[in-house]
Amino acid sequence: MSESKLQEAVHTLKTAGVRITPQRHAILEHLIESLSHPTADDIYKALEGKFPNMSVATVYNNLRVFKEVGLVKELTYGDSSSRFDCVTTDHYHIICDDCGKIVDFHYPGLDEVETLAEQVTGFKVSRHRMEIYGVCPNCIKKTQH
Ligand SMILES: [Zn+2]
Ligand SMILES: [Zn+2]
């Protein structure tokens, strides 16, 4: 599953004329395999053993390239660290108030909200973002013991 997703992503990059370096490939692979919406720093820490010469800036630049060709979405939360999400199908996020973990869940796109917003405000709507907050199962367990 993730193997074919990786191949697909590599294909998208090649089509866009982006050269596939070993680092670039590793960053992409990590993004696809980790379902945790990592920050550039998380990715750097996960791969620094494999690529000692790689810097956080390199990771960040690669993420920017992926973003430009539409492979990842950048999720900003007002703090300095953006998180990166592999673009698959549309999904929503639930975020843990305690540990900050972001988990995907699927729900039919709320198109009606966009249509209504357009009608009410006269805006041309391009997208929306909805996030649910709560406490994740791990953190619930921690407070119970
Ligand atoms: Zn948590
Ligand atoms: Zn996500």
Whole-prediction pTM = 0.76
Span 2-86: which CATH code?
A: 1.10.10.10
pLDDT reported for residue 4: 85
Does the structural domain 92-144 have CATH classification 3.40.50.620? no
> Which ligand neighbours the alpha carbon of 136 most closely?
1
Calculate how far, in angstroms, residue 137's C-alpha sits from the geometric centre of ligand 1. 7
> Cβ distance 35 to 42 under 8 Å?
no
User: What are 34-93's pLDDT values in tens digits?
Assistant: 878 999 999 999 999 999 999 999 999 999 999 999 899 898 887 778 899 887 677 889
Distant-in-sequence, close-in-space partners of 62: CB < 8 Å, separation ≥ 6: 23, 24, 27, 28
Calculate how far, in angstroms, residue 125's C-alpha sits from the geometric centre of ligand 1. 33
2-86 and 92-144 share one fold? no
Q: Find out whether 86 is annotated in a ligand binding site.
A: no
Alpha-carbon distance values, 76 to 10, 51, 61, 115 (Å) = 25, 27, 16, 25
Average pLDDT, the chain: 89
Q: Could you state, in order of their start, the residue ranges of all structural domains in the chain?
A: 2-86, 92-144
The amino acid present at 18, given as its one-letter code, is V
Calculate how far, in angstroms, residue 67's C-alpha sits from the geometric centre of ligand 2. 14
